[in-house]
């Protein structure tokens, strides 16, 4: 099993670098995961990540893209409630890339 080291502590990740135990996640781990994805985290990124983690806590799965865009739109203003905005933040796709940084499992299926 591969590991990732943050502040001297080892964290298990899978072959694609997704965190195995999501309860171990913290901001520093998120920063490190973002680095592996070449994403420079800003407050806008963290807003999305926080929402993803809240949603996951409630439903045990990441939100659908549309649910995410609508929620972001409601919370942060209409101009941010679209997938273009999310793709600007997470170029490899909000579902997979943002989930990875949030420490959530990779969404699977025909997506």
Q: Is 67 in the site for other proteins (CB under 8 A)?
A: yes
DSSP of 63-75, one letter per residue?
A: PPHHHHHHHHHHH
Nearer to other proteins, 7 or 108 (CB): 108
Per the annotation, the verdict on 99 as an active-site residue is no
Nearer to other proteins, 46 or 87 (CB): 87
Choose, by CB under 8 A, the member of 10, 12, 16, 28 that binds other proteins. Answer: 16
- The Cβ of residue 111 has, within 10 Å, a number of other Cβ atoms equal to 9
Rounded to an integer, what distance in angstroms lies between the CA atom of residue 47 and that of residue 90?
12
Q: Is 73 in the site for other proteins (CB under 8 A)?
A: no
Rounded to an integer, what distance in angstroms lies between the CA atom of residue 22 and that of residue 87?
24
Rounded to an integer, what distance in angstroms lies between the CA atom of residue 43 and that of residue 25?
18
Per CB under 8 A, which region of 4-12, 19-27, 38-46, 91-99 contacts other proteins?
Answer: 91-99
- The Cβ of residue 100 has, within 10 Å, a number of other Cβ atoms equal to 24
Interface residue list for other proteins (CB under 8 A): 15-16, 59-61, 63-67, 70, 83, 93, 95-96, 107-111
**Would you please indicate which residues are annotated as catalytic (active-site) residues?**
110
């Amino acid at each position: 099993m591969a590991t990732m080291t943050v502040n001297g502590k080892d964290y298990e990740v899978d072959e694609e670098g997704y965190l195995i135990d999501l309860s171990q996640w913290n901001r520093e781990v998120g920063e490190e995961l973002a680095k592996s994805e070449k994403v420079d985290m800003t407050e806008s990124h963290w807003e999305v990540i926080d929402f993803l983690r809240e949603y996951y806590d409630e439903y045990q799965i990441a939100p659908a893209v549309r649910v995410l865009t609508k929620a972001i739109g409601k919370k942060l203003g209409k101009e941010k409630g679209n997938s273009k905005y999310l793709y600007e933040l997470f170029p490899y796709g909000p579902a997979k890339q943002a989930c990875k940084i949030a420490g959530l499992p990779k969404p699977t299926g025909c997506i």
